[in-house]
Amino acid sequence: MHLALLITLLLLASAAAVLTISLATVAYFKMFRRRKPFGGCFGGSDDFEMGPARARVADGPGTEPEKGNPAPKQAAVPRLMGWAEVESATGKFSPSAVVGEGGSSTVYLARFPDSSLAALKLHRPSERLHHAFRQELDLLLRLCHPHIVRLLGYCDDREAEGALVFEYVPNGSLHEKLHGGGAEVLPWARRVAVAHQVAQALDYLHEGCDPQVVHGDVKAANVLLDGRMEAKLCDFGSARVGFSAAVAPPRPGGTMVVGSPGYVDPHYLRSGMISKKSDVYSFGVLLLELVTGAEAFDAERERRLTADMAPVLRDVEVRAAEVVDPGLAGEYDAGEVAKVLGMAAMCLGDNPSLRPSMSHVVRMLQEKTAASIGAVAVCCGGKHQL
């Protein structure tokens, strides 16, 4: 009897071990299947990982794009470049090749042996700035969206310097088009289309990335216009990864403010907390610029556009026509102007929790400015047209 009991117990133990191994195997393969599609945008099937966090950079093959965002195109993996190639492409960092200057970097027009052009961002040498370069590179390698400027290559073989090489975007920035004093005025329909494209890019950062990304410096100067006059969001040097990022509240003479004058979320200035709703606030300022043609911050008067527009935003339906960019010469949809200003007022709300999400903004633009967005898509036919 004892022998029979012993045999029974042994059989039960063996069965339990087999069941445990089977369950563990099933769990492992389920996890493996979940992780494989993350190659997305860069065309691979393996996880694309830089640093401790991992991010899905695009929808997998055969899936529908989320929240109305256009499906990302397949793109080549950004390539690692040598310092000699970087020097050669910029004419050994010739002053004549400089197209932009920032607080921590210089942007050069780079020319490669195949005659292709690119924008090369060179971070100035310092240990602190090189850490910022690594953070920006880490993030850019995860991103892929048709309305985010594409990283083509990078060089990180110098101890305190780094270079990022971006696609060439020939039509300058939205800031230049709105405030540069050129002969051409950006038409109303194109302004609405640009707003819609920037909103899609921010929606992708906020909801399409894992972990989500806060851009941190949404402004007209960081919206580039390609050969078809479509928007490309750029400059991720201030970006934060995660639900929100607590930083020290800015103080006079102390910590630098994250963001640019006229665009900075007042809630951040009070609390030191950066979140997705900080980007929403900055996007609201961008909407005001597109409607009025005025700059976000008037340096001569030291006056913010949001302050000037506050009375109008409290009575949009009546006062919208008062603030439309005179450069449009009356060629705009008055109903759409009022609706865009209404959306701007929502984005600029003092309480971040009451501001809309960028996915909501995308839907509102699609619904309330459909005529202008559709007109741009039809009239341009994929060609450059103002």
pLDDT digits 0-9 by tens, 234-277: 999 889 987 555 555 555 544 567 889 999 999 999 998 899 99
Query: Token digits for 96?
Result: 């004549």
Are residues 297 and 218 part of one domain?
yes
| Mean model confidence pLDDT for the chain | 80
Let me know if residue 45 belongs to a domain: no
Domain match, 182 and 328 both: yes
Cα distance between residue 170 and residue 119, in whole Å: 10
pLDDT of amino acid 314: 94
Residue that finishes a domain, picked among 105, 138, 167: 167
Q: Is residue 26 part of a domain?
A: no
The structural domain count of the chain equals: 2
Q: At 138, which amino acid appears?
A: D
| Measured distance CA(81)–CA(147) in Å, rounded | 25
Q: Which residues contact 288 (CB under 8 A, 6 or more apart)?
A: 294, 296, 305, 306, 309, 341, 344
| pLDDT given at position 81 | 94
Of the ranges 25-34, 39-48, 86-95, the best mean pLDDT one: 86-95
Q: What percent of the chain has pLDDT over 70?
A: 73
pLDDT band at 287 (very low <50, low <70, confident <90, very high): very high
pLDDT confidence tier of residue 41, bands split at 50, 70 and 90: very low
Nearest by Cα to 344 from 275, 293, 285? 285
pLDDT at 34: 32
Q: Which helix (H) or strand (E) holds 55?
A: none
The CATH number given to whatever domain includes residue 194 is 1.10.510.10
Six-digit token string for 129:
């700035």
* Per-residue pLDDT at 259: 85
Same domain, 334 and 185: yes
pLDDT in tens, 150-162: 999 999 887 778 9
> What average pLDDT does the segment 156-184 reach?
88
Whether the Cβ atoms of residue 164 and residue 108 lie closer than 8 Å to each other = no
Measured CA distances, 84 to 91, 157, 334 (Å): 11, 11, 55
Determine the residue type at 115: S
Q: Is the pLDDT of residue 198 over 90?
A: yes
pLDDT the model gives residue 119 = 95
**Is there a single domain that holds both residue 283 and residue 373?**
yes
**Whether residue 99 is found in the same domain as residue 230:** no
Mean local confidence (pLDDT), 39-64: 30
Q: Residues 59, 203, 217, 279: which is the catalytic one?
A: 217
Cβ pair 116, 193 in contact under 8 A: no
Helices 334-347, 305-313: inter-axial angle, 10-degree rounding: 110
Q: Domain range holding 246?
A: 174-380
DSSP state of 206: I
Domain co-membership, 342 together with 213: yes
Do 154 and 183 fall into the same domain? no
Residue from 194, 232, 236 nearest 217 by CA: 236
- The CATH number that applies at residue 157 is 3.30.200.20
pTM to 2 decimal places: 0.78
CA separation (Å) from 171 to 210, 229, 230, 339, 353?
31, 7, 9, 28, 36
Q: Residue 182 above 90 pLDDT?
A: no
Report if residue 97 sits inside a domain.
yes
In terms of DSSP H, where are the helices of the chain?
2-35, 83-89, 127-140, 174-179, 188-203, 266-271, 276-292, 305-313, 316-319, 334-347, 358-368, 370-380
The reported pLDDT for the residue numbered 181 is 77
61 found inside a domain: no
Residues 178 and 95 in one domain: no
Q: Residue written as tokens 């400015």?
A: 369
pLDDT computed for residue 381 by the predictor: 56
Residue 96 lies in a domain: yes
Question: Within this chain, do residues 319 and 215 fall inside the same structural domain, yes or no?
Answer: yes
Q: Is the pLDDT of residue 224 over 80?
A: yes
Q: How confident is the model at residue 353 (pLDDT cuts 50, 70, 90)?
A: very high
**Domain C-terminal end among 167, 196, 214:** 167
In a domain, 20, yes or no: no
Identify whether 217 is a catalytic site residue: yes
Q: Is the pLDDT of residue 226 over 90?
A: yes
The reply to whether 28 falls in a domain is no
Are both 163 and 178 inside the same structural domain? no
Residue ending a domain, choose from 146, 167, 188 = 167
Asked if residue 72 is part of any domain, the answer here is no
Band (pLDDT 50/70/90 cuts) for residue 180 is: confident
* Whether residue 203 is found in the same domain as residue 146: no
One domain, residues 227 and 341: yes
